[in-house]
Structure 1
Amino acid sequence: MTLRKIRWRKAQEIRSMRKFLMAVPLVLFTVPAAAQQAAAPQADDMNRVMDQGLQHSHVMQTAEYLMDSIGGRLTNSPQMRQAEGWTQAQFRSWGLKNVHKEGFPFGRGWSIQWSSVRMVMPRVIQLTAMPLAWTPGTNGTIRAPIVVAPMKRERDFEPWRGKLAGKVVLVSLPGDGDEPGDPAFKRLKDDDIHKLDRIEQPDVDPAARERQLKRFKFRAKLDAFLKSERAVAWVRKSYRDGKLLHGESFAYRVGDTPALPGIEVAAEDYRRLARLAKVGPAPTIEINSTVKFDDSDINAYNIFGEIPGSDPRAGYVMAGAHLDSWVAGDGAADNGAGTAVVMEAARILATIGIKPRRTIRFALWAGEEQGCLGSLSYVEKYLATRIPANAPDGNDQWLRWDQWFPIKPRPGYKDLVAYFNIDNGSGKVRGIHAEGNVAAVPLLREWLQPFASMGANAVVASPTRDTDHEFMQAVGVPGYQFVQDPLDYSSRIHHSSIDTFDHLKAEDMRQASVILAGLLLQSANSDKTLPRMPLPTQSAPTNPFKYEDPSDD
């Protein structure tokens, strides 16, 4: 090699070194920042979750304020508006990001100001009773005799034409008593959980769905008939004994408000009235109820907060519970418990300072009690739509929604990689429903494994229904609900007047909060994602040879 070539090569090496050194500051500047955002999960993350959730829990303080200070949270009621603001403030105080609310069309606000129902003849008795949601007040005191006129179908109207003017109409069959034969309070045994591990074959019956829609519309037809017959109010029997009340009704849309006051009376009081009417003369009752409607904002609102992820291409995971409730009680087990657990999981993860790969989103849904309307709105806006252009408008769209095809995924369809819902009271988490997704079972078991010693190790095949993961499942998104000890949720608490803080189990709620936080942490950082079900298409009728029974109408 000549001296000239040696000098030329040295010059080239010097120029290359200068380029490298000029690039180094940029590398040194950018890499640590990215590394700081995408910090690898720490081996002790799960221990810190358990320490924060068990040793420093806030879940019962959150639950107490929500139930005792705010109370029952009927969608769009003043109490629900208060809860919307308070939950956002809590999320912000814990350091969550992108805390906000998102509205969707709903209907009227409604609340009970005062109510009294008495039997005044043949003797005076204060009845256990309450107004039905979204029915009007009495505008003073109504005092009238009763008539027992059970009506479940339009054909039941005809025998009562001309007989109801000036009467309070009792529209339920009195029955003979429906006390439970089994203990009201229950913990799951291993055999009970094992029975849940089964694949349910579909039962597709288009005619049954039409009957369900027809029954749903009957409420408005009953009100119109009673108004035309000049009745002054109507009363239904509570569907549980034990002096429990519920107050559910669904005429929340503007323009759908019933004409007559509707009242629910405790089963024991209702049957007493019916017995007296049977032997005669019919009792006279006195109803005085004041309710308040609010049409200032007909939107309902879902509440969201996030712990941002470091990799925007990795999608996000989400946990949710519904914030709304009915108004007979304080909405504690249904679903203040789930709300408090979701909020506590958010607090735990924010407090220990995790920096997940995927964003973790927390959702508090509105309108669940009227048909999972808040989560349905989210699905339609961000995940997939199936509402046809000619779909009939009305408060029964949620009953039709999963029958409309084709499903049209939105651009964000695949971004949601896991959704965990909690809405079965305050019982201990025992596992998770795989919702028929057999391919997801191994990964769900892996994620649950750290909590086996806490009693949560079951992954069962069976689905659950009637809560906010359902519409996600209906478009093939991996949404899951937990297996929980039932306690007395279905037997006497669900929607009832004793759904209060006293029936929540603190130890179980701390356990549920830790498990939810742990599942979110693992699903947010895992290299694996839950397999999806196929995008649903129109199913064939299960029994194409079935004849319909006319008496089912």
Structure 2
Amino acid sequence: MKYRILLLITFLVPCFLFAQSDLYQLTGSLLADSPIEENLQYLCDEIGGRVTGSAANERAVDWALAEFEKAGVKAWKDPFPMPVRWLAKSCRLHLKGKDNFQPQVVAKYQSPPGTYQGQLIFVGKGQEEDFQKKAAGIKGNILLVETDLCLDISGLFAEYAAAAATEVLAKKHGAKAIVFMSSRPKKLLYRFITSKATENDMPQLVMAREDAKRCIRMLEGGEKLSARIELEAQTGGAFTAHNVIAEIPGSEKPDEVVIIGAHIDSWALGTGANDNGCNVAMMIDIARQMKKLNIRPKRTIRFALWNGEEQGYFGSWDYTKEHEAELDNHIMMLSVDIGSGAITGFFTNGMGELVDAVDEVLKPVEALGDFTQVNIPLVGTDNFDFMLQGVANLIANQKPARYGPNYHAASDTYDKVDLKTLKVNSAIVAALTLGFANLADDKISWKRQSRSEIQKLFDTHKLEYTMRMFNVWEPWIKGERGRK
């Protein structure tokens, strides 16, 4: 590994010969040996899964704060309200037919605890025509839904969309609960939010793919299966969670801010390695190396370890509310949240003016990748509320690597992280961040968008359905979320 890194550094040297000493030192330091791997291993193996509201989550917050402070970087815990607490305890599904068996299942977020009984009714892929065929038997019963195999990130979004549509139909037809076939093979289980997120009131489960196929064969063969769900969870009302915020003050324009972040929370079936522990470790390491090298950017660089992301981006949403008066001076926001696959460029989220600036600041590290910017808006991570506020926002676009099949799953563990690529990604993100922090005023051609401009962006890219899928459309329309 050290030999490969030395080759990269040697290849990069010519790119930095002209007034790029800070950037050269920073990227070189990030590509060389650093505590990033040790940090990630501690976060994953010693702390583990970090559901917002859990003791492990607060331990992770305290650990991250200590790491920033150990590096000499100013940092603080940033409190914000979470509307509900939901921590899984156990979930069992008992099936009775000619024989009795217990398939492997987990509950989706905010599934209400309790015991639920009914007939298991197979409704195909949960589309309108499937419900019409079984309409007479759905009310008061438990639905089993077939799911396509998930092979990549696009498959994840397709699964979210299909599940959201099924939820609406299940409610309409009076179903008692929904059991979704796992989209992953080898009995791999994972946890999602539902389309109603914190407002969900219907039990929703994910069943091991092989077990679900067994059930389907039995039901399609004419057998009847009665089902009993026993679901236990720790639940409660509103509570306080914490982001971790750190910053390196700007030397010339301290009121102007470049903010980069990754979410520190995760689900707890695995240990939140690719989603998103690896990029938490990245944020800490970039701040650490900047401080060690005494780099003084023109604008303030802020590092955010967001919390409550998995439940609906609550930590980053609260930041945009608390700092609303300052958002005109937030030059750029970046979210890194697609694991440890190689960065191939950045999503500029419908703000075409950003493309040239991103191209320019990446030139010094062009040896690290073939970068292409993608100017489409994404909904699904902590850039979202900055988009709702009209702030220029980016998401790192990454090769899928091991991200999709292990997403939110028991298999999202330290050994799945591409550690070599993580270090290269750190250098790329650092170059982008420092580049924006030092960008000449005449290179900043964009301004914060108005509400009407944001709405036009949503209309142009037909984002309403996706926003409804994550339960964020109505709050936007009602003026409860985003720019007024």
8 Å CA contact retained: 1:91, 1:99: no
Determine the C-alpha separation between the residues in 2 that align with 1:277 and 1:346: 56
Q: 129, 133, 136: which one pairs with 2:105?
A: 129
Q: Which moved more, 1:266-275 or 1:499-508?
A: 266-275
Q: CA deviation at 1:379?
A: 2.3
Which residue number corresponds to residue 193 of structure 2? 249
Map 1:31-180 → 2, pairs under 5 A: 43-103=20-80, 105-117=81-93, 119=95, 121-123=97-99, 125-138=101-114, 146-148=120-122, 156=131, 169-172=142-145, 174=146, 178-179=148-149
Q: Distance in 2 between matches of 1:304 and 1:311?
A: 21
Per-residue deviation, 1:507: 0.7
Deviation at 1:270, TM superposition (A): 1.2
Checking the alignment, whether the CA contact within 8 Å between 2:68 and 2:75 is kept in structure 1 is no
2:284 corresponds to which letter in structure 1? M
Does the 8 Å CA contact 2:391/2:448 hold for their aligned counterparts?
no
Q: Distance in 2 between matches of 1:451 and 1:435?
A: 22
Question: Residue 505 of structure 1: CA displacement?
Answer: 0.2
- Could you tell me whether the CA contact under 8 Å between 1:437 and 1:533 is conserved in 2? no
Q: Which amino acid aligns with 2:39?
A: T
Q: Please, what TM-score do these two structures have when normalized by structure 1? A: 0.67
The correspondence for 1:451, drawn from 365, 368, 386, is 365
Residue 501 of structure 1: aligned partner: 414
1:60 is displaced (CA, Å) by 1.9
Q: Distance in 2 between matches of 1:242 and 1:424?
A: 23
Retained in 2: the 8 A contact 1:134–1:249? yes
Per-residue displacement from partner, 1:29-57 (whole Å, max 9, x unpaired)? xxxxxxxxxxxx98532232133212222
More deviation, 112-121/328-337: 112-121
Which of 353, 356, 364 in structure 1 is aligned with 2:294? 353
Question: Which blocks of at least 5 consecutive residues in structure 2 are unaligned?
Answer: 1-17, 155-160, 462-484
2:232 maps to a residue whose letter is: T
Q: Retained in 2: the 8 A contact 1:185–1:488?
A: no
CA drift of 1:427 comes to: 0.7
Q: Check the 8 A contact 1:147/1:170 in 2, yes or no.
A: yes
The 3-state SS of whatever aligns with 2:310 is: helix
Match of 1:273 in 2: 215
The question of 1:432 aligning with 2:409 is answered: no
Question: Contact 1:334–1:494 at 8 Å: present in 2 too?
Answer: yes
Counterpart position of 1:225: 174
Cα distance, 1:332–1:214 mapped onto 2, change above 3 Å: closer
CA contact (8 A) 1:135 1:262 kept: yes
* C-alpha distance after superposition, 1:87-136 (max 9, x if no partner): 22222222111422131x32222223344445565446552311222223
Aligned runs of 1:303-382 on 2, under 5 Å?
Answer: 303-312=244-253, 315-382=256-323
* Gap change, CA 1:148 and 1:519, over 3 Å in 2: closer
Residue aligning to 1:485: 399
| Deviations 1:342-383, CA, capped at 9 Å, x for gaps | 222122212222223322111112232333333232223323
Instruction: State the distance in 1 between where 2:117 and 2:174 align.
Output: 21
In 2, the alpha carbon distance for the partners of 1:123 and 1:54 equals 58
The answer (yes or no) to whether the contact 1:451–1:457 under 8 Å persists in 2 is no
Q: Which residue, out of 225, 230, 234, partners 1:292?
A: 234
Secondary structure of 1:62 counterpart: helix
State whether residues 318 and 363 of structure 1, in contact with CA within 8 Å, keep that contact through their aligned partners in structure 2: yes
Question: 2:426 aligned with 1:513, yes or no?
Answer: yes
Please tell me the residue identity of whatever aligns with 2:317. L
Aligned twin of 1:423: 337
Amino acid paired to 1:432 = F
Separation in 2 of the partners of 1:429 and 1:163? Answer: 46
Cα distance between partner residues in 2 of 1:239 and 1:427: 21
* Separation (CA, whole Å) in 2 of partners of 1:429 and 1:281: 50
* Alpha-carbon distance between aligned partners in 1 of 2:345 and 2:257, rounded to the nearest angstrom: 22
- Quick one: structure 1 residues 534 and 143, their matched pair in 2 at CA, closer, same or farther if it must change by over 3 Å? closer
1:395-444, Cα deviation, whole Å (9 max, x unpaired): xxxxxxxxxxxxxxx3x132211222211111112222344444433332
Q: 1:414 aligns with which of 303, 317, 328?
A: 328
Q: Could you list the per-position Cα deviations for residues 151-192 of structure 1 after superposition, in whole angstroms to 9, with x for gaps in the alignment? A: 667995996678766x6x1242x37xx446x7x699xxxxxx
* Cα distance change of structure 1 residues 542 and 88 upon mapping to structure 2, 3 Å threshold: closer
Q: How many residues align?
A: 431
Where 1:539 maps in the other structure, the secondary structure is: helix
CA distance in 2, matches of 1:282, 1:307: 64
Q: Are the equivalent residues in 2 in contact too, given 1:121–1:285 (CA < 8 A)?
A: no
SS of aligned partner of 2:456:
coil
What SS does structure 1 have at the residue aligned with 2:401? coil
After superposition, the Cα gap between the structure-2 partners of 1:221 and 1:464, relative to the gap in structure 1 and judged at 3 Å, is closer
**Per-residue deviation at 1:149?**
5.3
Cross-structure match for 1:441: 355
Would you say the 8 A contact 1:478–1:530 is kept in 2? no
Percent sequence identity over matched residues? 27
CA deviation string 1:2-44 (max 9, x = no partner): xxxxxxxxxxxxxxxxxxxxxxxxxxxxxxxxxxxxxxx9853
Q: Which residue of 2 aligns with 1:264?
A: 206
Structure 2 contact 197–312 (Cα < 8 Å) conserved: no
State the distance in 1 between where 2:51 and 2:129 align.
29
Q: 1:275 & 1:534 partners in 2: Cα distance?
A: 55
- Separation of aligned partners in 1, 2:360 and 2:123: 57
In structure 2, the residue matched to 1:16 is: none
Counterpart Cα distance in 2 of 1:370 and 1:59: 27
How far residue 484 of structure 1 moved from its aligned partner, in angstroms, is: 1.6
**CA RMSD between the two structures:** 3.8
Higher alpha-carbon Rg? 1
SS in 1 for 2:297: coil
Question: What does residue 8 of structure 2 align with?
Answer: none
Verify the 8 A CA contact 1:57 1:510 in the aligned structure 2.
Answer: no
* Cα distance, 1:154–1:374 mapped onto 2, change above 3 Å: farther
